[in-house]
């Protein structure tokens, strides 16, 4: 019985030590940066986490499985948002594709397929004709998609995404931002798995 008690105490001590170590690992200015100017979030009632990404980014494609797994276990007080980065050219086209698919309620269904097309099937999706043909192959009505592509709501979302990227001073992807106060990327966090761990650390910091 005494041995069981000691084992339980050691396990508890180890858990707290592990948490302390994790806290020590994630340092402001090293693993993430605190923003000088706080960015407004969509809701004051939730902790907002944004992933700035590009479908053509190899690191974004590699990070996606970890992000999807992490997203499934997020608590109700966290609002996770994907925002396509725009640095001109095909970046902007892919951002428009993202919001047009969102407008026809097909973005979630095609999210993985787009990454696969670009990184495993050697497709470029570098113009509207290619993009429309691709989404049509995956069951999206071409006319509805084209209408959404040219819609005011999609153009508005693109403008919002540009403003957000400027506010967060996004220079590369994938970059994550937490609650308008912090930002970090794969390089600063330490790796693919560590990226979601840094996000969890900052989410908890905001709760505290």
Is pLDDT at 21 greater than 70 in this prediction?
Answer: no
165 phi/psi in degrees, rounded to 5 = -60, -40
Rounded to two decimals, the pTM is 0.88
Q: For residues 207 and 42, give the distance between their C-alpha atoms in angstroms, rounded to a whole number.
A: 17
126: left (phi over 0), alpha (psi -120 to 50) or beta: alpha
Sorted by where each starts, the structural domains of the chain and their CATH numbers stand as 28-207 (3.40.30.10)
DSSP output for 26-70: S-BTTTBEE-SSPPPPS-TTSEEEEEEE-TT-HHHHHHHHHHHHH
Q: 125's torsion region: left (phi>0), alpha (psi -120 to 50) or beta?
A: left
174 within 8 A of 70, measured Cβ to Cβ: no
pLDDT in tens, 105-139: 999 999 999 999 999 999 999 999 999 999 999 99
CB 100 within 8 A of CB 182: no
Q: What is the pLDDT of residue 24?
A: 53
Write down the pLDDT at residue 25: 78
For 162-191, how does the pLDDT look when each residue is reduced to its tens digit (9 = 90+)? Answer: 999 999 999 999 999 999 999 999 999 999
What is the per-residue pLDDT for 3? Answer: 42
Which strand ranges, in their side-by-side order, compose the sheet holding 47-53?
Answer: 33-34, 182-185, 175-178, 47-53, 78-84
Q: Is the pLDDT of residue 52 over 90?
A: yes
Q: Are strands 78-84 and 47-53 parallel, antiparallel or unpaired?
A: parallel
Q: What percent of the chain has pLDDT over 70?
A: 88
């Amino acid at each position: 019985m005494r041995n069981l008690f000691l084992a339980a105490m050691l396990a508890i001590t180890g858990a707290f030590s592990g948490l302390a170590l994790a806290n020590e690992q994630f340092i402001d200015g090293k693993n993430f940066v605190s923003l000088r100017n706080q960015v407004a979030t969509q809701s004051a009632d939730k902790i907002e986490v944004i992933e700035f990404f590009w479908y053509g980014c190899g690191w974004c494609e590699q990070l996606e499985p970890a992000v999807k797994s992490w997203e499934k276990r997020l608590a109700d007080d966290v609002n996770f948002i994907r925002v396509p980065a725009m640095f001109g050219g095909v970046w902007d086209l892919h951002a428009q594709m993202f919001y047009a698919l969102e407008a026809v309620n097909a973005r979630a269904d095609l999210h993985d397929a787009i990454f696969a097309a670009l990184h495993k099937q050697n497709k470029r999706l570098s113009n509207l004709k290619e993009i429309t043909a691709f989404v049509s192959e995956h069951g999206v009505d071409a006319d509805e998609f084209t209408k959404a592509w040219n819609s005011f709501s999609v153009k508005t979302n693109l403008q919002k995404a540009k403003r957000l990227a400027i506010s967060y001073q996004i220079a590369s992807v994938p970059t994550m931002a937490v609650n308008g106060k912090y930002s970090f990327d794969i390089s600063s966090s330490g790796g693919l798995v560590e990226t979601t761990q840094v996000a969890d650390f900052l989410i908890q910091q905001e709760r505290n």
